Amino acid sequence: MLKNMAEIFYLDIAKLKAFVERRQLMLYPVLLFLIQRLFNEGENRYHLCYEVFQENSGDRAFQWCAFQDDFEGFYQRFLHDFLLFGRSLKKGMPSNVIKVFLSHQFGEADIPAIGFLPCETHELLLQVKISCQYENLQKRLQYMCDNALFYTKK
């Protein structure tokens, strides 16, 4: 259940990073998939609107992807959209989205929003800020990160 109230916590991504490196995947789309799975348990059907960062220019923009329960399909769609659209938002974004930021630079959100920052003191921790409270979010997201293989297999 979503409640309007910001929450900040740390997420240990050591196991997730090892999984990503073993499978030669990109961390960000795997993390996006886990967030999508977490918020789409039960009857909910949220799509993702996520921030993309261009290392060359330093520009930030948003892209979106439709809900997809299959990891391989989601991952391939992310890569396709990222290469095809880059920083240009593709058309047709639905209203029921979770917005994912690569920072904590969002104020009061009228939609669920979650932001990630690297921890300055530990490379395997992410500081997570969420615009609303979601029951047991920290424990559930940590469990999903620790067990990514289970959530990404067919």
**Count of domains in the chain?**
1
Alpha-carbon gap, residue 61 to 7, rounded angstroms: 24
Place of tokens 């073993």: 22
CB proximity list for 145: less than 8 A, separation 6 or greater: 11, 12, 13, 15, 16, 31, 34
Residue at 126 is within a domain: no
> Quick one: pLDDT band at residue 25, thresholds 50, 70, 90?
very high
Provide the residue range defining the domain that includes 24.
7-121+134-152
pLDDT of residue 147: 86
Task: Give pLDDT tens digits for 50-59.
Answer: 887 766 666 7
Residue at 44 is within a domain: yes
Copy the structure tokens of residue 61.
Answer: 């923009």
pTM of this prediction? 0.80
Q: Which CATH number do you get for residue 26?
A: 3.30.559.10
CB proximity list for 19: less than 8 A, separation 6 or greater: 25, 30, 148, 149
Place of tokens 């740390």: 10
Residue at 18 is within a domain: yes
Collapsing DSSP to helix, strand or coil, 29 comes out as helix
Task: Give pLDDT tens digits for 39-88.
Answer: 887 777 888 888 877 666 667 778 888 888 889 999 998 888 877 766 66
Residue at 17 is within a domain: yes
Residue at 141 is within a domain: yes
